[in-house]
Amino acid sequence: MIVALDGPAASGKGTLARRLAEAFDLAYLDTGSLYRATGVATLRAGGDPAQEFDAVSAAKTLDLTLFSSADLRTEEAGVAASQVAFIPGVRAALLDFQRNFAKNPPDGKTGAVLDGRDIGTVVCPDADVKIFVEASLETRVARRVKELQEKGENIIEARVRADMKARDDRDKDRSVAPLVPAGDAWILDTSDLDADQAFAQAKAYILSKTRR
C-alpha cells in the first residue's frame, strides 16, 4: 500500500505521516528532507541554492548520512529547500530515489507513506491513498513558531510568516510539480484539528478506501 500525503509547510503532514506509517506498519519517507539536504549541501559547498548548476550538482551527489535532522529543520534550510526545489534538474535528480523507496520499502515493509508536495501528482501518481493536508496560513505560522521556539531557535514571528508565504508562493507557482492537490486526493483541513483528531480522520479515510 502506498499512501501519498501532500500539502503546504506546517500543515501537519509530517506528524500525520509518521503516525499513519506506524499504525499501518508502513515505511516512511519525508521527501522534504531530500530538498532540505540538497539546499544545505549547496550552501555548505559555498553555492547558491537558486542557481541551477550549484543546486543540481548538490542533488546528484547527495549523501544523506552527512546531515542531522537538526541541520535540516531550520528555517534557513526550509528556504534553501524551496529554492532548489524550484529547479527541474534537482527534482529529476531526486525522483528515482523516491520512487524506488515506494516500490521497494526498506525493513521488509509491504508499503510506504511518503509526504511532500508532489507525491500524489508526480512521484506516485498510482498511490492507493492520496491525502492533501491543508491549514490556514495563520494556523501554520503558529505551529511553526511553536516548533522553532521549542528547539530554542531565536525567531521573529513576522519573519516566519513572510518566509512561509514566500515558500508557499514559490511551491505553487513553479512550472514543474507545483503544489496542487491531485484530482483524486481527499482534502483534510487541519486548521481546527489537533494531531489526534487529524490522525483519527485520516486513519478512518484510509480504512474506508482500502477495505472492500
> Which position among 2, 3, 4, 10 is part of the footprint of ligand CDP (CB under 6 A)?
10
Q: Does 117 bind ligand CDP (CB under 6 A)?
A: yes
Q: Does 163 bind ligand CDP (CB under 6 A)?
A: no
Listed residue (33, 22, 15, 20) closest to 147, CA to CA = 15
Instruction: Tell me how many residues contact ligand CDP (CB under 6 A).
Output: 16
Least distance between ligand CDP and beta carbon 75 (Å): 9
Q: Give the count of beta carbons closer than 10 Å to the beta carbon of residue 172.
A: 12
Q: Does 118 bind ligand CDP (CB under 6 A)?
A: yes
Q: Does 42 bind ligand CDP (CB under 6 A)?
A: no
Q: Does 134 bind ligand CDP (CB under 6 A)?
A: no
Q: What is the DSSP string of the chain?
A: -EEEEE-STTSSHHHHHHHHHHHTT-EEEETHHHHHHHHHHHHHTT--TTSHHHHHHHHHT--GGG--HHHHSSHHHHHHHHHHTT-HHHHHHHHHHHHHHHHS-STT-S-EEEEESSIIIII-TT-SEEEEEE--HHHHHHHHHHHHHHTT----HHHHHHHHHHHHHHHHH-SSS-S---TTPEEEE-TT--HHHHHHHHHHHHHHHH--
Least distance between ligand CDP and beta carbon 155 (Å): 14
Q: Which is nearer to ligand CDP, 31 or 57 (CB)?
A: 31
Half-sphere exposure of 166 (CA within 13 A, CB side): 14
Stretch that binds ligand CDP, among 17-25, 116-124, 148-156, 200-208 (CB under 6 A): 116-124
> Which position among 3, 12, 21, 35 is part of the footprint of ligand CDP (CB under 6 A)?
35
Binding mask of the shown chain, residues 166 to 195, with x at each position contacting ligand CDP by CB under 6 A = -x---x------------------------
Stretch that binds ligand CDP, among 29-37, 62-70, 99-107, 193-201 (CB under 6 A): 29-37
Residues that bind ligand CDP (CB under 6 A): 9-10, 14, 31-32, 35-36, 78, 81-82, 85, 116-118, 167, 171
